[in-house]
Chain A
Amino acid sequence: MSFPLGTVVALEGASGAAEATGFEPFLPGLVVLLPLLGFLANGALALAAGRRSADAVRAGGEWHLPETERPLTHTWPSLIGPGVLLAAFAVTLVNFVRMWGAELHEPVVIPYWTWLVTGTLEVAVAIQLDQLSMVMMLVVTGVGSLIHVFSVGYMRDDPGYPRYFTYLNLFVFFMLVLVMGASFPVMFVGWEGVGLCSYLLIGFWFRDREKADAGKKAFIVNRIGDVGFLLAMFLLFTTFGTLDFVPILERAPETLVYGGALVSAVTLFLLLGAAGKSAQIPLYVWLPDAMAGPTPVSALIHAATMVTAGVYMVARSSVLFALAPAGSLAVAGIGALTALFAATIALTQYDIKKVLAYSTVSQLGYMFLGVGVGAYTAGIFHLMTHAFFKALLFLGSGAVIHSMHHALHRTGRHLDAQDMRNMGGLARRMPVTWTTMWVGTLAIAGIWPLAGFFSKDEIIWYAGAAAGGPHASWYALFWMIALAAAALTAFYMTRMMLMTFHGGNRTGEEEARHLHEAPLTMSVPLVLLAAFSVFGGWINVPAALHDGWVGLFGALPMGEGLHHWLEPVVAAASEVRAEHVGAFHETAPLGGGELAWATFSTLLAAAVVAGTAAVASRWRIAPAAEAGEPTGGLRGLLYRKWYVDELYDHIIVRPVVATSRFLWRVVDAGIVDGIVNATGSVSRAFGLVGSVVQTGVLSTYAFVLTVGVVVVLAVMAL
């Protein structure tokens, strides 16, 4: 009945648990609670603002934000929204420092209250603090804070400003529940909760039908994945009798048979769930459409945090995946395929956000490849660096779009503000955005010594190194795919930068004068994220490279930092792997050690970037209005995204709708209800036949009655 009290009691209980581990959490519940409070406060403001704008609409017009004096509903969220996030980040940092200082080998689980309880099942609302959840918390609150600050600049002129922060805070709350939850069901609450926020934020401008459609699509596709998650939970429960992480992961190696059907089924179901949330083949189709939301949302939800939940989930249940070689192979295969597939689509897109969206799908594929080959740390590492540079790139594109919007708004022209063919030459007008985005581009392309180089190279390396064990030829194939996709990444990102920032401006003369650099609230997060994109990779320089030129001959700090940090979390998985598969190989499939291939891949990326830049000067790009859509050939096929949306539409969506109509019109109204109504009609028909004798004439009745009496008497007498 009393949550606050329960919280206090639980917090005290937490310090009791701390004595055993040497790690004393500092109000960890506050990390989750703060965004929730922000949600409630902003929600109240949003409801008030909604009423006001509704009154204006009802009066026949539209509500516009006053130019001079903003109402409180549109000023307070600027403080509350980012404020709670920064506070949560601060609390997380304190916890991080404490965890850093302590030797924590077991996760700290802090229960708050009992959620589900029957005789056989008990699930508590509990959070789990360990190295993995700490990394995720830092990413979510840290990158989240920056994106919230950016949003203040990006969204403050939108009439729905308080509603925006309501959703954004709610999202962070659910994301934290997802990463901090101590059991699969609690994680699932966050899992579906972030899906909900994604739905609301994609369809934030809900009066635009396409945007609302995109939100709906995201939710439904995600739910397909959620079925997998649910089934995996059911299987785990019937096997272990509990759904908490700690006991399941602890007992899994003894309880489950290595490579057995059960654990394979569990991991494949989990993979289905992860593929839905992390936009992997075959469920990736929602993510590109999700770009309909405001750009900071794309940065936060559809690049940095929510879509990485699948990777987090695989890493969280790493023991299970280690026990299921088939499941792991599937994860790696899906990841590699997605990495390449999405990269090919990104090659030809003209919408700046679409390029980034497919790039995200592709990078998520890398993360899947990483956790699939058993390099859980590498996957999480790439998740983290990707959060930095992809958030940076999205926010940068947001700054560009913001500026384009303003310029087009000034002159009143209707152009697609996101089409790169309408941009060009923005470098001079937006130097900060331009510089920082180049940092992000080089990082994602894998240029040494930026963050993306270290993380992506580690994944590619482990894919190659896994090709020494079972399923060697598959892993060798994945490794080559990953290398190829890396080259494509370097190309499409450079293409995007060149089309947007270089060459001549194609927006229009009048408009070009209004293109301007983003305000401080937007540029400061860009600069900070750019810094992280540079240095972020240094925390985990592999030992084999650290003393080579890659690690500046040992000068880069914190070699293998993340690896050591996450060791307690993935130790069990590593043990299983060591026992059944053996160690990773020292050489890649084509020979050569880690250092050699690292050198190769960064040189490859650099060559592609430089080559693209050299070729691009000869491109002639027409503005979107004159150019039209590319058709025919490979180019058209890629621009049309391999026609996957159309394919799904034909083989899934339409048959489902057609079947629904059939079931309704024919089966339900026709057969089932037809039988019911027929029963009624038949009874009525009998009644009609019988009613012939019912003349309504009293004398007839009396006569029949008399005859009847006489007959009865006669029968009795005889």
Chain B
Amino acid sequence: MSRLAGYLLSFALGCSAFGQGIPPNLSRTLGTTPPNVQLVDTQGRTFRLSDLKGKPVILSPIYARCPSACIVISRSVKKALQQLNLPDDSYTVLTFTFDPKEGRAEMAAFQRNHELNRPNWRVAYVPDDNALFELLDGIDFRFTYISEQVKDHPNLLVFLDKEGVIRHYEFGLEFTPQQLQRGLRIARGEYTLWERVSDWIFPVGALGVLATGAWLMLGSRRRSR
């Protein structure tokens, strides 16, 4: 019974995760490099996105005053990474606020309240609003203004490879170790056979249908002669 309740809860959370916000257009972002914007972390250190090159990066756009989803996302990522127990120097997590009205104080409070203290986890904000929206456009992250306190947004993580190129998105509210493992694997360039061929199935199938139609027509013409 408790297992059934767990499944139902997961299903409900999954539905709500997919049901929020405007999904990014992956065909425009995968394989591109987000703009090299300047960020400031909660220690006051200034850095650029390019400074994180050299290992996979997990981008987590959130807003600190979020009453629900962003807290669940950050806590689940923290828990999943603890379970995976990967070496700290094998990846970086960058949690940043997409709300231009939030800065160091809000992000520091968010980091403190949710204990995002791993050495490879940076909690930051983009001080320049133009640069912030360039970064959001670069990952096609669109949020909806509901009120000063509340924004609707997609629940996602973006995985960059060691060169800073967008390689993968994971969607959800409660991220699992499997999701993070898959994202980091793809960010390392390790694809399964299915991941390599899945993008080609539709165009190959469409071409097959057209070719079959043409072949049937030509065949019937020959037979009718």
Asked if A and B bind, the verdict is no
Q: Which residues of A contact B (CB under 8 A)?
A: none
